[in-house]
């Protein structure tokens, strides 16, 4: 006769080995309701804070873009107080990409007015504070043009060279033209010719390459 195995009390109260993770969590949180409530509330707070922060950032970005648009419109108006109005608008910008773009606009306006020192000051601010490689390149080019406007060809040459050294995605044809022009104006004809001949190789397919060839012919006489 087969023997029947006797069950012990401890066998009866052992947990089911197939119990799910969900069941375990439910059982745990049932015993620790205070902790569970705190965790749920914390998660809700984190989610809502994240949504609020994102919404706030979007509103801030839209506000800055609107301010930037006003700045662009100010440039189009023929007004003797244009720069003053632009500076008032600039002061309303929060730190960020839009403010650096606004600095570029104001620096450009100073350049157009022939206030090269102020243009350089604002372009330098961009170099010091902007993390955008493109903004930095635009600032370097602006500084080069400003020094050239002051007839400070030595510093203009250095600024043009800096732009060429760190080009990012900035089109360099006109930068090379400016560099060659400053060498020529600084009575360094041989250096100008070297730059122009480099352009013949580097920009052989450029639509304006004929102007480079003509300049080489003139300087070679």
Q: Which of 6-10, 30-34, 61-65, 214-218 has the lowest mean pLDDT?
A: 6-10
Asked if residue 162 lies in contact with residue 140, where contact means CB atoms within 8 angstroms, the answer is yes
Residue 183 within any structural domain of the chain = no
Domain count across the chain: 1
Hey, CA dihedral for 119, 124, 130, 132, is it positive or negative? positive
Asked if residue 58 lies in contact with residue 71, where contact means CB atoms within 8 angstroms, the answer is no
DSSP states of 82-100: HHHHHHHHHTTPPSSHHHH
Residue 33 within any structural domain of the chain = yes
With 0-12 / 13-18 / 19 or more C-beta atoms within 10 angstroms meaning exposed / middle / buried, residue 63 is middle
Please choose, from the candidates 159, 164, 163, the residue with its C-alpha nearest in 3D space to the C-alpha of residue 147.
Answer: 159
Q: Which of 17-31, 89-103, 127-141 has the lowest mean pLDDT?
A: 17-31
DSSP states of 10-47: HHHTSPPTT--HHHHHHHHHHH-HHHHHHHHHHHHHHH
Percent of the chain with pLDDT over 90: 45
How does DSSP classify residue 2? P
Does the pTM surpass 0.75? The reply is no
Quote the pLDDT of residue 201: 94
Residue 212 within any structural domain of the chain = no
Asked if residue 216 lies in contact with residue 197, where contact means CB atoms within 8 angstroms, the answer is yes
How does DSSP classify residue 77? S
Quote the pLDDT of residue 18: 46
Residue 2 within any structural domain of the chain = no
Residue 41 within any structural domain of the chain = yes
DSSP states of 123-191: HHHHHHH---HHHHHHHHHHHHHHHHHTT-HHHHHHHHHHHHHS-TT---HHHHHHHHHHHHHTT-HHH
Quote the pLDDT of residue 10: 52
Residue 44 within any structural domain of the chain = yes
With 0-12 / 13-18 / 19 or more C-beta atoms within 10 angstroms meaning exposed / middle / buried, residue 74 is buried
> Where residue 122 sits, what CATH number does that domain have?
1.25.40.10
CA 63/CA 101 separation, integer angstroms: 14
Asked if residue 87 lies in contact with residue 75, where contact means CB atoms within 8 angstroms, the answer is no
Residue 130 within any structural domain of the chain = yes
Residue 43 within any structural domain of the chain = yes
Residue-number span of the structural domain to which 162 is assigned: 20-170
Q: What is the mean pLDDT of the chain?
A: 82
């Amino acid at each position: 006769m087969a023997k029947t195995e006797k069950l012990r009390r401890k066998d009866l109260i052992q947990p089911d080995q197939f119990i799910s993770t969900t069941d375990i969590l439910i059982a745990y949180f049932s015993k620790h309701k205070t902790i569970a409530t705190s965790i749920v509330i914390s998660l809700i707070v984190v989610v809502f804070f994240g949504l609020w922060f994102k919404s706030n950032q979007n509103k801030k970005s839209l506000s800055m873009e609107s301010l930037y648009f006003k700045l662009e419109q100010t440039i189009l108006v023929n007004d003797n107080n244009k720069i003053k109005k632009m500076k008032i608008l600039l002061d309303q910008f929060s730190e960020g990409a839009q403010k650096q773009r606004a600095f570029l606009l104001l620096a450009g306006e100073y350049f157009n007015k022939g206030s090269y020192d102020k243009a350089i000051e604002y372009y330098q601010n961009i170099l010091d504070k902007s993390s955008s490689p493109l903004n930095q390149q635009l600032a370097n080019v602006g500084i080069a043009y400003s020094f050239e406007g002051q007839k400070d060809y030595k510093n203009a040459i250095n600024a043009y060279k800096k732009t060429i050294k760190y080009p990012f995605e900035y089109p360099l044809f006109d930068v090379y033209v400016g560099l060659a022009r400053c060498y020529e104006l600084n009575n360094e004809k041989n250096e100008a010719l070297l730059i122009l001949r480099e352009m013949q190789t580097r920009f052989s397919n450029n639509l304006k390459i004929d102007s480079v060839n003509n300049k080489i012919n003139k300087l070679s006489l």
